[in-house]
Structure 1
Amino acid sequence: MDLIIPVTVGIIILCFLAWLPIDFYLGRKSHINHVVDKYFPKRSSDIQIYTNGRALFQDFFKEIKDAKAHVHILFYIVSNDRFSEEFLQLLKTKAQSGVEVRLMVDRIGSHRLSRKTINDLKTHGIRFIFTHMPKWPYLFYSLQERNHRKISIIDGKIGYLGGYNIGKEYIDQHPKLTPWRDYHMKITGEGVRDLQYVFLDDWFHTSGKDDRRNEKYFPSLPKGECVHQFVPTEGVFLQKTFSELITAAKSRIIIGTPYFVPSQQLFTDLRAALSKGIDITIIVPKHPDHPLVQEASYRYFRVLIKDGARVLQFKKGFYHSKIVLIDDKICDIGTANFDRRSLFLNHEMNCLIFNRACIENIKKELRYDMQHSTPLTLEMLSISNPLRKIKESIASTISPFL
């Protein structure tokens, strides 16, 4: 009789562990079967790059205050702190003034938002929804599939896209992750309509309300100076985009990412580029913001460094940039990290930039990144460290979910 309870518990645990990979496999299969590749043409807009959160949000808040008709915002994270309260209060004020305000956030990324806060937003007239709610029958898989986009559109004329979320760390108020280094774009011009479409498409798939062809959200927009192309992905097509960029390179590749956990395909592509004499620089944080993400990258770095790549660790704060520069001719900036979660799980939004003048401005920021970084060497990765070895083993096993 004394053995019944522990045996029962053991059986339940074994069933649970057996269920996880089955749930993930079937959920992934269902995901792939339902994803549609969204294609946007090249557009011409004006693009301003922000790499400092305080400057970005000063401008962002001003544009929200000046909004006349509608404010549509999607973030992966809206936290629960003073800065988040300031942001939400601004949205409530705009909604009370008669401006349509929609706020969509990822259910897992924004788990700190309380029911009380959400009810208060709705009471003030904000149309609020969680996207990517965990759901049956593939509960475990749906917990992993997240909306990692950060898109804002104001009056259908001004757009924002990049790596910043809403929380104190993004304005340099975190005790350990300060200053926060990231890339975020402000877009004005014809490309904003594509950001608006992606937001409304996500809204439709979450709420059932379809405004994707509602002309009031798509005003006539002028052309700008910067030729670019938006690339939305949903855990299926990002690998193809990155692979095409890498294989198209002729002389130089620069990758900036907070997490470097490439797929086998991209790892092979990078090694092939190195074998052709292409210069590759990878910039990552010196100090990580999550456990094991750094250790997950080491097995790739050992090989790439040996093959001739240069790996730099940014030391002046936390490095959260998501950028790929190819031959000074094409630059990718957006929400996707260079890791398996962004490649195969997350819904992301990136922007390919083709304009030489815009890329030159971005290169100035990349030079700053490199100047404030130190090389990671094979010698450093070869130092005997039993704890790191254990962490690397664990990280290798769970790398798709980091």
Structure 2
Amino acid sequence: MKVFFVILIIVIILLAIILLDIFIGRAAYRKRAYEPVFTKKKSDIELIHCGADLVERMMQDIRDAVSSVHVMFFIMKNDEVSHNMFTLLKTKAQAGVSVYLLLDWSGSQKIKKPALETMKNAGVHVHFLNRPRFPYFFFHIQKRNHRKIAVIDGKVGYVGGFNIGEEYLGKKAKFGNWEDYHLRMTGEGVRDLQTLFTADLKRNTGSAELGPDVWPELPQGNIPHKIYATDGYALEKTYLANIARAKKRITICTPYYIPTKPLQQALVKARKNGVDVTLIVPMKSDHPLVREAAFTYYSELLDAGCLIYRFYQGFYHVKALIIDDHFSMIGTANFDQRSLFLNEEVNVEIDDVAFTKEVYATIEEDIKKSDLLTTENFKKRTFRQRPAEWLGKALSYFL
């Protein structure tokens, strides 16, 4: 019995040390957090919601590159899809194109060393972001660069939710079809993506000696938008401001619904004020406890009259906030506390009726592949699920 209590005390002390490290580290990091909000621009923007289409378009743009290819992903893997991209980047570097590949240290651990060495030997500049370090080791090991950005010749930009791997193209039976949203941009907004890529490169390597050809003169496009990056501090405030201005409807698409109390209250308040609130989430789960944690928030939403759809035809990884008939926010940030308080993210705010109509049309197709969660069905969930829900909510900050 004494041994049990000794072990318990040791575990409690270790947990306390880890939590103190994380929260003190986050407070210290705030002084150098990178959260630029770029001015409003106009670009031509295309919505892509099929992983195979995205990879095909992106790889063709990379093949056509003449001066620079800058690619940043949270996850790449040791699979055929990733290796096809590695081979293309290597080929472009050997042809004299400036090629940079930035990868999150935690998210891209599955890439084998020979693949990395082959690219580096061919001239690809490969860098891992957010390597764990002291002080505040446990805080830094939780930091993720969750951005997915590609900029080709400084003229074509990509940003959105897809990573590079077999599952994102629907090639893994466990998940099936992978639904996500990505943007392809041409026009003056691409410069902001290039600026963000360059800043992440410099912050992690200390240097970003890129040639002048990555900053070409860019034409103005047709769709007004604003790009902004978050680093664990400003995202909640941005979500709250956009939710507060809704007059008719709010649609949230997210793989992980783990909001803060202010965000949950803002949605309930909006619904009580007559705003239609719709939430689309996956039926499946790709991480432990995230689905269970989300259930602890559903009861209040359902009681307020919000609609919750659960996508069943594959996995739903979309990150979008749609307000009324004109405003769309699409990017890399989930509607969860990891994106709010730990991850480095990037979103695009698009204020355009025609584009938002296209997004709604895509969402309507997603809803056709979803089940509506009713209060009756919600109450039928098994009691065996309840402990997992409580545990998930207790750990929600880290999920």
TM-score normalized by structure 2?
0.96
Aligned to 1:298: 295
Aligned to 2:74: 76
Q: What is the DSSP-based 3-state SS (H/G/I as helix, E as strand, rest coil) of the residue aligned with 1:393?
A: helix
Query: Hey, what's the Cα distance between the residues in 2 that align with 1:240 and 1:41?
Result: 18
Q: 2:390 aligns with which of 372, 386, 393?
A: 393
Aligned to 1:112: 110
Flag the 1:313–1:11 CA change in 2: closer, same or farther, 3 A. Answer: closer
Q: 1:142 aligns with which of 130, 135, 140?
A: 140
Query: Hey, what's the Cα distance between the residues in 1 that align with 2:384 and 2:117?
Result: 46
Aligned to 1:278: 275
Query: Hey, what's the Cα distance between the residues in 2 that align with 1:330 and 1:41?
Result: 16
Q: 2:256 aligns with which of 259, 263, 268?
A: 259
Q: What is the DSSP-based 3-state SS (H/G/I as helix, E as strand, rest coil) of the residue aligned with 1:113?
A: coil
Structure 2 residue 217 is the aligned partner of structure 1 residue 225: no
Q: 1:206 aligns with which of 201, 204, 207?
A: 204
Describe how 1:129-168 pairs up with structure 2 within 5 A: 129-168=127-166
Flag the 1:18–1:328 CA change in 2: closer, same or farther, 3 A. Answer: same
- Report the CA distance between 1:88 and its aligned residue: 0.5
The one-letter code sitting in structure 1 at the alignment partner of 2:64 is D
- Report the CA distance between 1:16 and its aligned residue: 2.0
RMSD (CA atoms): 1.7
Structure 2: any 5+ residue segments left out of the alignment? none
Q: What is the DSSP-based 3-state SS (H/G/I as helix, E as strand, rest coil) of the residue aligned with 2:201?
A: helix
The one-letter code sitting in structure 1 at the alignment partner of 2:255 is P
Aligned to 1:34: 32
Which segment is superposed worse, 63-72 or 37-46? 37-46
Q: What is the DSSP-based 3-state SS (H/G/I as helix, E as strand, rest coil) of the residue aligned with 1:51?
A: strand
Describe how 1:2-401 pairs up with structure 2 within 5 A: 13-211=11-209, 215-383=212-380, 385-401=382-398
Flag the 1:383–1:206 CA change in 2: closer, same or farther, 3 A. Answer: same
Which segment is superposed worse, 7-16 or 353-362? 7-16
The CA deviation string for residues 8-54 of structure 1, in whole angstroms up to 9 with x for no partner, is: 87665444222111111211111223224412011110001111011
The CA deviation string for residues 127-160 of structure 1, in whole angstroms up to 9 with x for no partner, is: 0000011111111111111100000000000000
The one-letter code sitting in structure 2 at the alignment partner of 1:151 is I
Q: What is the DSSP-based 3-state SS (H/G/I as helix, E as strand, rest coil) of the residue aligned with 2:219?
A: coil
Query: Hey, what's the Cα distance between the residues in 2 that align with 1:30 and 1:119?
Result: 35
Q: What is the DSSP-based 3-state SS (H/G/I as helix, E as strand, rest coil) of the residue aligned with 1:177?
A: coil
Q: What is the DSSP-based 3-state SS (H/G/I as helix, E as strand, rest coil) of the residue aligned with 1:349?
A: strand
- Report the CA distance between 1:270 and its aligned residue: 0.7
The CA deviation string for residues 363-384 of structure 1, in whole angstroms up to 9 with x for no partner, is: 2101111122111122222125
- Report the CA distance between 1:5 and its aligned residue: 9.6
The one-letter code sitting in structure 1 at the alignment partner of 2:177 is P
The CA deviation string for residues 248-268 of structure 1, in whole angstroms up to 9 with x for no partner, is: 000100110000001111111
- Report the CA distance between 1:346 and its aligned residue: 0.4
Query: Hey, what's the Cα distance between the residues in 2 that align with 1:151 and 1:194?
Result: 11
Matched pairs, number: 399
Query: Hey, what's the Cα distance between the residues in 2 that align with 1:389 and 1:9?
Result: 27
Query: Hey, what's the Cα distance between the residues in 1 that align with 2:128 and 2:34?
Result: 22
- Report the CA distance between 1:362 and its aligned residue: 1.4
Q: What is the DSSP-based 3-state SS (H/G/I as helix, E as strand, rest coil) of the residue aligned with 1:79?
A: coil
Query: Hey, what's the Cα distance between the residues in 1 that align with 2:34 and 2:203?
Result: 12
Query: Hey, what's the Cα distance between the residues in 2 that align with 1:384 and 1:106?
Result: 37
Flag the 1:5–1:298 CA change in 2: closer, same or farther, 3 A. Answer: closer
Query: Hey, what's the Cα distance between the residues in 1 that align with 2:358 and 2:264?
Result: 28
- Report the CA distance between 1:331 and its aligned residue: 0.4
Query: Hey, what's the Cα distance between the residues in 1 that align with 2:29 and 2:361?
Result: 39
- Report the CA distance between 1:70 and its aligned residue: 0.5
- Report the CA distance between 1:7 and its aligned residue: 8.9
Query: Hey, what's the Cα distance between the residues in 1 that align with 2:145 and 2:259?
Result: 20
The CA deviation string for residues 213-270 of structure 1, in whole angstroms up to 9 with x for no partner, is: x633210000111111101111110111111110000010011000000111111111
Flag the 1:35–1:80 CA change in 2: closer, same or farther, 3 A. Answer: same
Q: What is the DSSP-based 3-state SS (H/G/I as helix, E as strand, rest coil) of the residue aligned with 1:296?
A: helix
- Report the CA distance between 1:56 and its aligned residue: 1.0
The one-letter code sitting in structure 1 at the alignment partner of 2:258 is V
The one-letter code sitting in structure 1 at the alignment partner of 2:89 is L
2:284/2:312 contact within 8 Å kept: yes
Query: Hey, what's the Cα distance between the residues in 2 that align with 1:100 and 1:8?
Result: 57
Query: Hey, what's the Cα distance between the residues in 1 that align with 2:303 and 2:108?
Result: 40
Structure 1: any 5+ residue segments left out of the alignment? none
